[in-house]
Structure 1
């Protein structure tokens, strides 16, 4: 390995990269605790993640079989894993209101996979530094997979929480 080519920006990236990953992990980890169920958040999450899936579909449809396959696999696995995880949620109705505790391992894994892909794309932009034109997000099957996996998972979780609340609201 040639250390002569390291500049201050690369060294800063090597030092700050792991710190950024740890910060994202600790932030997402805190979100996987007991939370109050707020219907507006669930509806917003459901609609935003559905929009992400549909916009991604509109970008990949008819372009490439690999991109469409990534979209289908990411969406299907995201929804499937969300259904699996939702059965492991802790749902509570108390005098203070409605509360839920997410299934931490799978939610954390999905969020960190998406964050890893975003960090990789940022690293790619930094490493190219204008030497190559930037690709669209929908040009990479891995990016499409990461987006649809995350959107399918969290959109389905939001839909499950809306359904649970509607069944118990009088």
Structure 2
């Protein structure tokens, strides 16, 4: 018989006058078991929450942003850089973007960071980049003859803050 098993059985099967030790041992084992179970459940929930949050965040934003140190200058020859990035294995899409701090208003005002994307790239409309609840992302494409050229897509929370809707 292994030593660990011998010691465990000795304290679990105590004699009559040592019955208190046996009860305390069982309570201790149950307490440790419950603690370990709670820890395993908490870690599983935490891991699942982290993976879910990470997938949602990465779906809505770029995994990598390439920017010029001189922010106002932009990136010279960006079409060649975009082509090089698209050529890398595993890259699903690479799009030139512009970021600008803005103040949006529609009855109410709220600060935001505007992200301008060139929508003429076919990968812009590929599955998985957007979760659209109302409207159609393809409606953002403007024609030169279109009288309404200022179109924007905003998130749910921003729409609620501004009190806006599609159209």
Fold conserved (TM > 0.5)?
Answer: no
Between Structure 1 and Structure 2, whose CA radius of gyration is higher? 2
Kindly indicate which of the two structures has a greater share of residues assigned to strand.
2
| Greater relative contact order, per chain length (Cα 8 Å cut-off, separation 6+) | 1
What's the TM-score once normalised by structure 2's chain length? 0.25
Which structure is higher in helix share?
A: 1
